Amino acid sequence: MIPSATTIPVQQAAIRVRDVSRRFENGVLAVRSLSLDIDAGVFLALIGPSGCGKSTLLRMLAGLDVPTAGTIEGINREQISYVFQDAHLLPWRNALGNVTLPLELAGVTRSQQKERATQALERVGLADAIRRYPAELSGGMRMRVSLARALVTDPQVLLLDEPFAALDEINRQRLDEMLRSLWLATKVTVIFVTHSIAEATFLADRAIVFSSRPARIMLDSVIDLPPERTMRLRASPEFAQVQGRLFEALQRGEATS
């Protein structure tokens, strides 16, 4: 039996968001007085209506955007990797060359670049595709290269902004399973933005559901499912119960103006 929604007790938070707001130059208030703590090593999913401020929050965590008010503490932005919805691969570089790029920029030796990039590609199941160029890869494979590039620097925090949204359902579920396994192996702190309640339920150990813009927290809940997750879990009553709880919170959030 899945327990009722529970606010997560925060201990030794890695990231502290305090009364953060973001108002854009056109007057749009994307985030208002948002506070939350994110523990080290957690897999956190952020869910909410389109345009509610999820991606804005992610960009502020990454340092790509600056809060209008409030503070974000406890995050070393040199130890962050960011995966966008588009893979953003360099078309003139093969998979290995794309993954070595952040190591080149960090001044890592050539031998170390190749070794670490090869290992990262192996971890995402692309050991046989390291010499292939982006145009020769499927959408799912390109996203795997993007994920390998994000992981090759051994980040403390991995930010993902709907990375699998453009993929078909089968590939999306396969990549969800792969990402969950990678997280179990590394226990990097993951903050994952998605519109998919099923994806959030499958991947995360904690989910935050936001209201419509400006983002306010409607639900902050533990995802109490087994650590090891396969596609079969999606058909279980426990999975459906968690999805239902998140969906109800999302409906309340969309009705909030």
181's CB contacts (< 8 A; 6+ apart) are none
CA-to-CA separations, 178 to 141, 162, 174, 202, in angstroms, rounded: 12, 15, 6, 11
- CA 106, CA 179: separation in Å to the nearest integer? 25
pLDDT for the residue numbered 62: 93
pLDDT digits (tens, 9 = 90+) for 59-97: 999 999 999 999 999 988 889 999 998 899 999 999 999
pLDDT at 257: 54
The residue type at 250: L
What interhelical angle do 95-105 and 139-151 show, nearest 10?
20
184-213 per-position pLDDT tens digit: 999 999 999 999 999 999 999 999 999 998
Q: What single letter denotes the amino acid at residue 109?
A: T
Instruction: Give the integer Cα–Cα distance in Å for 201 and 189.
Output: 17
The length of the chain in residues reads 257
Is the pLDDT at 29 greater than 50, yes or no?
A: yes
Average of per-residue pLDDT values in the chain: 90
In sign, the C-alpha dihedral spanning 7, 14, 225, 162 is positive
Residues 256 and 211: beta-carbon distance below 8 Å: yes
Alpha-carbon gap, residue 75 to 57, rounded angstroms: 14
Mean pLDDT for the stretch of residues 122-148: 95
- Give ∠ CA 193-197-198 in degrees, rounded to 5: 110
Question: What 8-state DSSP symbol labels residue 196?
Answer: -
Whole-number pLDDT of residue 1? 31
What residues have CB less than 8 Å from 195, skipping those under 6 apart?
47, 50, 162, 165
Given pLDDT bands bounded at 50, 70 and 90, which one contains residue 144?
very high
> Where does the pLDDT of residue 133 fall: very low under 50, low under 70, confident under 90, or very high at 90 and above?
very high
pLDDT at 2 over 80: no
Q: Does the pLDDT at position 3 exceed 50?
A: no
Strands, E assignment, the chain: 13-23, 29-39, 43-47, 69-73, 80-83, 157-161, 189-193, 206-210, 217-222
pLDDT tens per residue across span 40-53: 999 999 999 888 88
pLDDT recorded at residue 8: 35
Distance CA 74, CA 40 (A): 10
pLDDT, mean of residues 104-130: 94
